[in-house]
């Protein structure tokens, strides 16, 4: 079995003095220096008590060098990383620490103060405090805790990550992701993207937090595998900072969510950035309207490609072909060694084009199970196929068009309405900066379409104008019956619109 530590060692040796990590302040770590720090951290961990080996550990911290200095040595010692979002509530963090059987926590002073009172109710035995500003490994501060919870039946050394997700059902669970699955996905992406662009001397801004598996696999390890440079910045929503970093660094590859691109294009200094070096721009994580792609191309002269994946697929399973065959409203084609099927409600494969069905996936990067959750595993798999809960259509050639999330679908008197379709129409209005469409309960039709929008300051756009615009492009049952105006829509830490929060809010208005 290949370990991620071995993967790291090989590529750090291959690229030695090339720059690997850069900070927003300009600090640089070469591949050899990075591996040196990893080795120092590894030696320190080996000298610790045996209870740091073969355990479940969690790193709750912003993107920083120290995150990685602790991650890779602990993986090498047979540990399993349980990645957690620091923005979760204390209850959510406590719940996941218990479900993930975590006994070692690595975090910052600020986050530790926030959650300290909840840790005695978990299985945490030790807490190591790290400094997110340090660029060299330093012995962390130790807090020892006593706990009555003793964990057995751990995931095992072949498992790299337990990655929490709501998955297709919305129930919290952890996808089991092995070292080999991560490495296979990196190789799949290198083969696919390498067909269209040179992979030499890539440079990227890491726009996703490391606790998100996509960030570790694609933003970090894909670029490591190909000798690229990664720029770290901690406030991932600071558009002013992103603009400065794009101006100051020869970034030639961008990968982010739709919101990231939209906010950049709305920034007053966006036009001053030189995008001539860009080899590829990818958008994923949520639906990307055609209008966003078109605007990016108009302003930068470069296409914006789509990509599709889930926590359960390590990072990506479907990526646009980066040539003239790319369809502007498509999410792309399956990456190498990945099979895609569209299933109807009876799990029968749909073979005809332009017919919606649930995306099902098979491939070496796809998880095989949820950790200690047979019921959720059984719901998610059908005869070896992972059912994603996403609805798509097969279109031209082998490309797929994403329709929507199965659980976000709206039923108006039995008629199916996909929020993405309505949001795409709303985005055609220049004064609408952001839009989220959800179901609102109705005594008459079961559900109605509710549009939550953010408009330009000072805009005179009326609800009647918005509805008239939608009526030009949509069937009557798809046209929003309610329009709610927001200063901003709720977003996840990676910038995705959190539809269930919008749904809860608009339905509270009907009570």
Q: Nearest to residue 341, comparing CAs of 363, 326, 324?
A: 363
C-beta neighbour count of 83 within 10 angstroms: 24
Listed residue (230, 189, 186, 202) closest to 63, CA to CA: 230
CA nearest neighbour of 456 among 434, 436, 437, 484: 434
- 425 touches 451 (CB < 8 A): no
- Reported CATH class of domain 410-508: alpha beta
Q: Which helix (H) or strand (E) holds 280?
A: strand 280-283
Residue with tokens 């199970």: 369
Cβ atoms of 476 and 467 closer than 8 Å: no
CA distances in angstroms from 284 to 13, 228, 331, listed in the order given: 31, 20, 9
Q: Same topology for domains 4-157 and 178-400, yes or no?
A: yes
DSSP 206-252: --S-TTSHHIIIIIIIIHHHTT-EEEE-S-TT-HHHHHHHHHHS---
Torsion of CA 210, 214, 217, 219, to 10 degrees: -70
* Cα–Cα distance, 235 to 454 (Å, whole number): 23
Q: Which runs of E-coded beta strand occur in 300-431?
A: 305-308, 318-319, 333-334, 339-343, 357-362, 381-382, 385-394, 400-405, 410-412, 415-417
Stated length of the chain: 511
pLDDT in the model for residue 101: 96
| 385 beta partners | 382
How high is the pLDDT of residue 168?
56
CA R_g for the chain: 23
The model carries a pTM of 0.85
Contacts of 204 (CB under 8 A, 6+ apart): 219, 223, 228, 229, 230, 231, 251, 252, 253, 254, 255
Domain boundaries, the chain: 4-157, 178-400, 410-508
Q: What is the Cα–Cα distance from 102 to 80, expressed in whole angstroms?
A: 9
- Phi and psi for 415 in degrees, rounded to 5? -85, 135
Say if CB 227 and CB 200 are below 8 A apart. Answer: yes
Give residue 346's pLDDT: 92
Parallel, antiparallel, or unpaired: how do β-strands 400-405 and 385-394 relate? Answer: antiparallel
**Spatial separation of the C-alpha atoms in residues 189 and 143, rounded to whole Å:** 40
- The CATH number of 4-157 is 3.40.50.980
CATH of domain 178-400: 3.40.50.12780
Predicted pLDDT of residue 432: 96
Q: What is the DSSP letter of 429?
A: S
* Residuewise pLDDT in 10s, the chain (511 residues): 789 999 999 999 999 999 999 999 999 999 999 999 999 999 999 888 666 778 999 999 999 999 999 999 999 999 999 999 898 888 889 999 999 999 999 999 999 999 999 999 999 999 999 999 999 999 999 888 876 666 777 877 899 999 998 765 567 899 999 999 999 999 999 999 999 999 999 999 999 999 999 999 999 999 999 999 999 999 988 999 999 999 999 999 999 988 899 899 999 999 999 999 999 999 987 778 888 999 999 999 999 999 999 999 999 999 999 987 777 889 999 999 999 999 998 999 999 999 989 999 999 999 999 999 999 999 999 999 999 988 899 998 789 998 877 778 898 887 778 898 899 999 999 999 999 999 998 888 889 999 999 999 999 999 999 999 999 998 888 999 999 999 999 988 777 888 888 998 998 876 5
Say what the pLDDT of residue 510 is: 65
Element containing residue 144 per DSSP (H, E): strand 141-144
Alpha-carbon gap, residue 408 to 499, rounded angstroms: 8
């Amino acid at each position: 079995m290949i370990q991620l530590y071995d993967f790291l060692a090989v590529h750090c040796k291959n690229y030695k003095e090339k720059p690997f990590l850069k900070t927003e302040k300009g600090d640089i770590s070469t591949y050899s220096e990075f591996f040196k720090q990893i080795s120092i951290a590894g030696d320190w961990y080996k000298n610790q008590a045996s209870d740091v080996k073969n355990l479940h550990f969690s790193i709750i911290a912003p993107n920083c060098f120290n995150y990685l200095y602790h991650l890779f040595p602990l993986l090498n010692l047979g540990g399993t990383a349980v990645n957690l979002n620091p923005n979760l509530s204390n209850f959510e963090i406590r719940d996941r620490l218990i479900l993930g059987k975590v006994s070692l926590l690595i975090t910052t002073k600020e986050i530790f103060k926030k959650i300290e009172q909840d840790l005695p109710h978990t299985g945490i035995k030790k807490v190591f405090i790290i400094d997110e500003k340090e660029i060299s490994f330093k012995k962390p501060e130790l807090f020892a805790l006593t706990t009555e919870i003793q964990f057995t039946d751990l995931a095992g050394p072949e498992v790299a990550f337990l990655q929490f997700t709501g998955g297709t059902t919305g129930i919290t669970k952890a996808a089991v992701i092995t070292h080999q699955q991560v490495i296979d996905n990196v190789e799949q992406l290198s083969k696919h993207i390498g067909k269209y662009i040179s992979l030499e001397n890539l440079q990227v801004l890491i726009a996703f937090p490391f606790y998100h598996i996509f960030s570790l696999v694609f933003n970090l390890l894909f670029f490591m595998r190909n000798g690229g440079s990664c720029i770290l910045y901690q406030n991932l929503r600071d558009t002013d900072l992103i603009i400065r970093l794009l101006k100051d660094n020869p970034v030639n590859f961008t990968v982010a969510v739709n919101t990231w691109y939209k906010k950049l294009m709305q920034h007053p200094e966006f036009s001053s950035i030189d995008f001539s070096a860009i080899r590829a721009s990818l958008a994923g994580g949520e639906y990307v309207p055609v209008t966003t792609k078109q605007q990016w191309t108009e302003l930068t002269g470069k296409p914006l490609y789509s990509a599709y994946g889930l926590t359960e697929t390590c990072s990506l399973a479907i990526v646009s072909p980066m040539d003239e065959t790319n369809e502007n409203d498509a999410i792309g084609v399956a990456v190498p060694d990945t099979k895609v099927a569209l299933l109807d409600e009876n799990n029968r494969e749909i073979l005809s084009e332009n017919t919606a069905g649930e995306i099902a996936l098979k491939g070496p990067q796809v998880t095989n199970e949820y950790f200690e959750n047979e019921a959720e595993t059984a719901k998610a798999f059908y005869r070896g196929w992972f059912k994603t809960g996403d609805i798509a259509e097969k279109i031209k050639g082998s490309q797929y068009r994403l329709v929507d999330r199965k659980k976000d679908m709206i039923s108006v008197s039995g008629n199916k309405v996909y929020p993405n379709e309505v949001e795409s129409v709303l985005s055609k209005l220049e004064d609408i900066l952001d839009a989220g469409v959800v179901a609102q309960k109705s005594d008459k039709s079961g559900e109605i379409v509710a549009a939550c929008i953010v408009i330009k300051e000072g805009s005179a756009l009326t609800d009647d104008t918005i509805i008239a615009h939608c009526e030009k492009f949509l069937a009557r049952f798809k046209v929003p019956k309610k329009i709610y105006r927001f200063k901003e829509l709720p977003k996840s830490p990676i910038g995705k619109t959190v539809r269930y929060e919008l749904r809860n809010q608009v339905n509270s208005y009907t009570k």
